[in-house]
């Protein structure tokens, strides 16, 4: 069955100022490499719809959605926190990034595709219920997960987050919802400066020290994520796919390789194949070294297609 590739031109228009690492070229290099590897034509391409107010309000208070919309500038940049800013095109991009996860969920639940990748920005996993931060405005993956629970009636969904930063927003949003299993690996110490413990059967946090490398990452995932996932038996597997743990990425020091991202994708697909009819919805989070991002994201997409 095909794999969906969901994006929107608006996601390329969002920019946070000269030299900001979360830049439009991130999406371009992924598509360029998909073309070069001749994978682009084998994906089922979709334009992301806008998330509706109601879809966003499943995971954010209405006041947060209204606050972000109200900050949207007519020109220039509106700064929401020291490293998170809106340009006139940001609101549209953020609505499309969240909406991509809704469409991806509908496509895999409807059986049109087995897996989906949302190549979108701004990213989402730092956005808390009521706080935009860390390049994130709305929490894209949780909008998809909430849609799966509320619209499609699922009882158990997993979110796997291998971005090098803790997905504090995702954990904040689902901290009281046992229908969601969150498995996370992240470097600590590092932004956002939190190292919350695990909650058995609900949140599996694997903090890794700077310089940890492939072996430590794979060991943590195998020893901690995998048993929790097998016991939980998710009906749909979401992935917060951040590639900023790559050795070439200068925002962190986890020292992962492109092969590690292929490996963890195989693991996610294996869980989905055993418990969730193969259903995986993955969405782009971080990844700031452009060649490493392209190589890692394309390795990830390739495994979504072939695993
Ligand atoms: Zn990150």
The pLDDT tens digits along the chain (307 residues) read: 899 999 999 999 999 999 999 999 999 999 999 999 999 999 999 999 999 999 999 999 999 999 999 999 999 999 999 989 999 999 999 999 999 999 999 999 999 999 999 999 999 999 999 999 999 999 999 999 999 999 999 999 999 999 999 999 999 999 999 999 999 999 999 999 999 999 999 999 999 999 999 999 999 999 999 999 999 999 999 999 999 999 999 999 999 999 999 999 999 999 999 999 999 999 999 999 999 999 999 999 999 999 9
Residues facing residue 180 across a β-bridge: 157
Q: Measured in angstroms, how far is the CA atom of residue 162 from the centroid of ligand 1? A: 9
Q: Measured in angstroms, how far is the CA atom of residue 161 from the centroid of ligand 1? A: 10
Q: Measured in angstroms, how far is the CA atom of residue 204 from the centroid of ligand 1? A: 18
Ion ligand 1 residues within 5 Å by Cβ: 163, 165, 242, 244, 286
As annotated, the active-site residues are: 126
Are the beta carbons of 23 and 135 closer than 8 angstroms?
no
Q: Measured in angstroms, how far is the CA atom of residue 165 from the centroid of ligand 1? A: 4
pTM summary value: 0.98
pLDDT, residue 201, reads 96
Q: Measured in angstroms, how far is the CA atom of residue 228 from the centroid of ligand 1? A: 23
pLDDT, residue 61, reads 98
Extended beta strands in the chain, E state = 3-7, 44-47, 78-81, 84-86, 115-118, 157-161, 180-187, 203-208, 236-241, 280-284
pLDDT, residue 1, reads 83
Pairwise CA distance, residues 199 & 18, whole Å = 40
Q: Measured in angstroms, how far is the CA atom of residue 1 from the centroid of ligand 1? A: 30
């Amino acid at each position: 069955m095909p794999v969906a590739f969901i994006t929107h031109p608006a996601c390329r228009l969002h920019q946070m100022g000269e030299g900001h690492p979360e830049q439009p070229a991130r999406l371009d290099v992924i598509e360029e490499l998909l073309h070069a590897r001749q994978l682009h034509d084998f994906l089922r391409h979709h334009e992301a719809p806008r998330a509706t107010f109601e879809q966003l309000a499943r995971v954010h208070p209405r006041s947060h959605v209204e606050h972000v919309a109200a900050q949207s500038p007519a020109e220039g940049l509106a700064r929401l926190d020291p490293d998170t800013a809106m340009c006139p095109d940001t609101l549209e991009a953020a609505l499309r990034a969240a909406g991509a996860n809704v469409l991806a969920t509908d496509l895999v639940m409807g059986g049109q595709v087995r897996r989906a990748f949302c190549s979108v920005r701004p990213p989402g996993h730092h956005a808390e219920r009521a706080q935009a931060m860390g390049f994130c405005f709305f929490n894209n993956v949780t909008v998809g997960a909430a849609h799966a629970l509320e619209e499609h009636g699922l009882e158990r969904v997993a979110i796997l987050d291998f971005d090098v930063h803790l997905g504090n927003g995702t954990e904040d949003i689902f901290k009281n919802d046992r229908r969601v299993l969150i498995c996370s690996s992240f470097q600590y110490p590092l932004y956002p400066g939190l190292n919350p413990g695990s909650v058995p059967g609900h949140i599996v946090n694997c903090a890794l020290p700077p310089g940890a490398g492939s072996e430590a990452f794979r060991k943590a995932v195998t020893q901690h994520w995998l048993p929790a996932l097998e016991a939980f038996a998710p009906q749909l597997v979401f992935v917060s796919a951040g590639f900023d743990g790559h050795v070439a990425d200068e925002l962190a020091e986890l020292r992962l390789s492109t092969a590690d991202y292929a490996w963890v994708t195989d693991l996610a697909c294996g869980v989905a194949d055993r418990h969730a009819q193969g259903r995986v919805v993955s969405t782009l989070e971080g990844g700031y070294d452009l060649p490493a991002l392209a190589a890692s994201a394309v390795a990830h997409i390739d495994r979504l297609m072939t695993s």
